[in-house]
Amino acid sequence: MTLERLTPGPRMSQAVCIGDIAFLAGQVPNDLAGDITAQTHEVLNKIDAVMAELGGSKADVASVQVWLADMADFQGMNAVWDAWVDPANPPARATGGMLLARQGMRVEMIVVARVPH
């Protein structure tokens, strides 16, 4: 099997595909001034954009790791998530709390997905 890299940069690629499995880089918000709902919307929009570039959609997402800087944001993140997720094709998901890379960042999501052929 070959590896294909989407938007490779000096530090990381936006996604790496092995066969029909895609591993997306952690998706984070650019606007760190927003609350959890704004940041979650931005991250989910980024996931949609990467999946579209791979030829797929959120229905192809198999697994998501959600990292929150503050677990008190769990309910707010879930409200946005529930409006976004495809109810016919919900991915496996885990959510945890941890210190994120930048001050003000409230959420990061890591996706594993199927790449349609």
Percentage of residues in the chain having pLDDT higher than 70: 100
* pTM (2 d.p.): 0.96
Task: Indicate if the pLDDT at residue 117 is higher than 80.
Answer: no
Q: Which domains, from first to last, does the chain contain?
A: 3-114 (3.30.1330.40)
Residue 72 CB-half CA count within 13 A: 2
Three-class SS of residue 99?
A: coil
Rounded to whole angstroms, the Cα distance separating 13 from 33 reads: 26
Band of pLDDT at residue 1, cut at 50, 70 and 90: confident
Residue-wise burial string across 79-89, b where 16 or more C-beta atoms lie within 10 A, e elsewhere: ebbeeebeeee
Can you read off the two tokens belonging to residue 34? 């927003």
For 29, counting Cβ atoms within 10 Å of its Cβ (0-12 exposed, 13-18 middle, 19+ buried), the class is buried
Q: Quick one: pLDDT at residue 102?
A: 96
Task: Indicate if the pLDDT at residue 55 is higher than 90.
Answer: yes
Q: Average pLDDT for residues 55-63, to the nearest whole number?
A: 97
